[in-house]
Structure 1
Amino acid sequence: MRNYFEKRCHILARKCIGPFLCIGIQVAAAQTGPGVSDTEILIGQSCQLSGPLAALSSEVRQGASLYLKHVNETGGIRGRKIRIVALDDAYDPKKAAENTRKLIEEEKVLALFQYAGTPPAMAALPLVEENRVPFIAPFTGSDALRQKFSRYVFNIKAGYGTELEAMVRQLATVGITKVAAVYLNNPFGTGGLASVEKSAKAHGVSLMAQAPLEVDGSKMDLAVDKIAKAAPQAIIVVSAGKPSIDFVDAYLKAGHRSTFYMLSVISNSQLVQALGERARGIVVSQVVPSPWNQGVSVAREFQVLASAQGIKEYTFSQMEGFLSAKLLVEALRRAGSKPTRESLIHSLEAMKSVDLGGYPVELSPTQHSSGKFVDLLILGRNGKFTK
């Protein structure tokens, strides 16, 4: 009987039968928004807890966890602790969509945060739009999440197109005009390949060969053989995590040589662990400040919190997670004493000029993608980056 009455009241409120009844129901709804209680704020995440990209996803989550733990231990958001509900998608878009539906409908999270990878993020997008849920700082530079405006998606780093343009421009500047590209055989990789082709044409660089990489590492010998036959001066690797490293490893073991250019979604730690001194000379684009840079306040803050947790080995992926968490916290603090999905969206759109500690964020009602910073670094001796 009670459930019937509650459902009936909800229907009446929507039809606005009687102004007094409408007002009463609306006040109750404002007090019980999704994902927010008196003690905590629930945030949903679908990421790779297993599979070939799990190690990379782990670094990003570790960086975010560092900052969120600090915030929770120092009072949270107006006394509420932030709790991340993380579900494993193993880089499977179908599973990511299932996770998203569960997070929205069953867990009733306030927002979705730091989804890892282009296919999972794109699989979540229709549900994000349908349910009007803020989708904050996905760990992907996909241009598909930037070029078409969505009221619910917020990015704070440069996209893959910007990274790849920087690579091709630099290659052309130093006189390297014969390049090849390998790309992950999914929307992330094919989208990146299209950016490489566009930039190569604009800068007079010849794309000598291209080959797909499978997420599971199969058909690697075919990719190696196809690229090696073109004998490129440089190879642009449009991939993430383990498949990227496996290609370089296989290419070098087959006796071939080239200069490799990689996107920011690669772990410097994993590169050095897997390749050792063979990682020397690999160029990696970066879209966040260096975690070692004492001249940037967010890096100093990161180092202090990492040290307190016994973390001695730093990565750019950790730093990206850390910055994403700082954005989330800043948005929650601005979202009012009773945060709702709508107030969180408004707080993000009001970040017209926000400094996250030497990393500027510029968002507005018409601009939901911030971040233009791209730096190209070379792995030197002992796995250390140099300009």
Structure 2
Amino acid sequence: MKAIHSITAVHRKPSQFETGRRDTVTHIAACLALGCVALSASAQQETPADGVYKDRIDWGVMMDLSGPTSSSQGIWTNGFQDYMRKINDAGGVHGRKVNVLAEDSRYNAATDKINFEKLVGQTPVIGISGMGTSPAQVALAPTIKAGKVPILATYTPTRALNEPVSPMVYNGFCGYKQMAQAGIGYYVDKLKLKNPKVMTVSIESAGGKDYHEYVTETAAKYGGTAVLTTMKVTAVDATPQVLEVLAAKPDLITIYGVANTAILTMKGLAQYGSKIPGFGITYLGAPQIFVAMGEQAGNNYAFVSCLTPGGSDQSPGNVEMSAFADKVGHGAMKDDVNYVHGWVTAQMVAESLQKVGAQPTRAKLVEYLAKGFSSDSKGLMAPVTYTPTNHDGPTLLKVFDYDYKTKKFVSFGDYNDYAKYTR
């Protein structure tokens, strides 16, 4: 009886379930016989020429990691890498980890050219962030704008790279124009200045030249004037510049450069008993700068920023970043706005890659960015919106001071309070 039942079962018409199961088994067997690696088209697709692989996406960073501006740009890079580490720990973007290829420019335009060519063709990446060397931006601007690799969130804005608007370039840092407008506007109101005389103390660079032009334009708006004094980026003594400031007797000074530019200038002025107020650009908003210049000089110094230092408020974005920085041993960096900007830049990159979809390419990324996009860092800076015709990036800034007793940064007002200066 058992044999008969077995024969009957073999010759009856198979059900749909049995047919489907048999087809599936046959498919798997055939796939194994052919050495198939993936069971889905999405897992198979790679575009190595664009820096996209089945398990990772390569993203480039070009910053000064060992040269004269590494004290700020190196910390920025840590912030960028830490956010990507957080994303990768959570599974990455569409199942792919974001692999950061950080190239050291040493603040040298020639080195940056080599690094750019490397990231475009030798070890290809889908996009690049940073580019903290302004002379390199000027030199590479035509090549970048005519190329296929987008620059998302530059660390320093130059007119050569950012003007006119290009679908290949998006400024990510507080704009020089807005820094000048917010800083001068704040002090004009605070000190009740009329026809203000402003002096720019700057390193010799393309970015410094651009910044002073904005300072001049802003001072003129209030019926005032602006003059410039410069020093080398590697300067270890600012006595000639300090004497020039004292001779000019400005109402206000503004500082563009690296940490030493601010430290040497403010300490030098304090040694001569000067209490001329000064504000630095955003990059010069690090706690170690205030500590190095000392309380006497630091009481006359502030900085203007579109970024909120870690630990200075309890916004969701600030709490999240501060907790992760502490977790990975970078707690000492979190109150440096350079770290903050690296973090929010990486967030912008990760969000853009997510929006591009499961099969990203350079062309798809360029197309997505060119249509316009927004990013909200949940309090680390005001929400940023890019449009097809405006790639300025952050436009709302505020002035920060350092409390030597609490060793924390404090801000004067909210970002929206400064909108009247940057309209």
TM bucket by the smaller chain? 0.7 to 0.9
Give 1:364's aligned amino acid: T
Aligned equivalent of 1:15? none
Q: Which moved more, 1:350-359 or 1:323-332?
A: 350-359
Asked whether the equivalents of residues 53 and 242 of structure 1 are also in contact (C-alpha less than 8 Å), the reply is no
1:333 and 1:114 mapped to 2: Cα distance? 20
Aligned equivalent of 1:185? 204
Give 1:251's aligned amino acid: L
Aligned equivalent of 2:192? 175
| Aligned with 2:262 (options 233, 244, 249) | 244
Q: Which moved more, 1:348-357 or 1:152-161?
A: 348-357
Asked whether the equivalents of residues 288 and 373 of structure 1 are also in contact (C-alpha less than 8 Å), the reply is no
Deviations along 1:92-145, one digit per CA (max 9) or x if unpaired, are 112211211121121111111122242233333233223221101111143444
Aligned equivalent of 1:369? 392
C-alpha deviation, 1:264, in angstroms = 0.3
What 5-or-longer segments of structure 1 have no aligned partner?
1-27
Aligned equivalent of 1:17? none
C-alpha deviation, 1:157, in angstroms = 4.0
1:35 aligns with 2:51: yes
1:206 aligns with 2:219: no
Asked whether the equivalents of residues 52 and 360 of structure 2 are also in contact (C-alpha less than 8 Å), the reply is yes
Asked whether the equivalents of residues 288 and 316 of structure 1 are also in contact (C-alpha less than 8 Å), the reply is yes
C-alpha deviation, 1:29, in angstroms = 9.8
Give 1:96's aligned amino acid: D
**Which structure: larger Rg?**
2
Aligned equivalent of 1:223? 241
Asked whether the equivalents of residues 235 and 261 of structure 1 are also in contact (C-alpha less than 8 Å), the reply is yes
Asked whether the equivalents of residues 168 and 205 of structure 1 are also in contact (C-alpha less than 8 Å), the reply is no
Call closer, same or farther: CA 1:355–1:349 in 2, change over 3 Å: farther
Matches within 5 A, 1:152-167: 152-167=168-183
Aligned equivalent of 1:16? none
Give 1:129's aligned amino acid: K
Matches within 5 A, 1:2-151: 31-151=47-167
Q: Which moved more, 1:227-236 or 1:182-191?
A: 227-236
Call closer, same or farther: CA 1:308–1:190 in 2, change over 3 Å: same
1:330 aligns with 2:351: yes
TM-score, with structure 2 as normaliser = 0.79
Identical aligned residues as a percent: 22
Asked whether the equivalents of residues 65 and 104 of structure 2 are also in contact (C-alpha less than 8 Å), the reply is yes
Give 1:188's aligned amino acid: G
What 5-or-longer segments of structure 2 have no aligned partner?
1-43, 413-423
| Aligned with 1:279 (options 290, 295, 298) | 298
RMSD between aligned alpha carbons? 2.3
Give 1:167's aligned amino acid: G
| Aligned with 2:377 (options 345, 349, 356) | 356
Residue 247 of structure 2 aligns to a residue whose secondary structure is helix
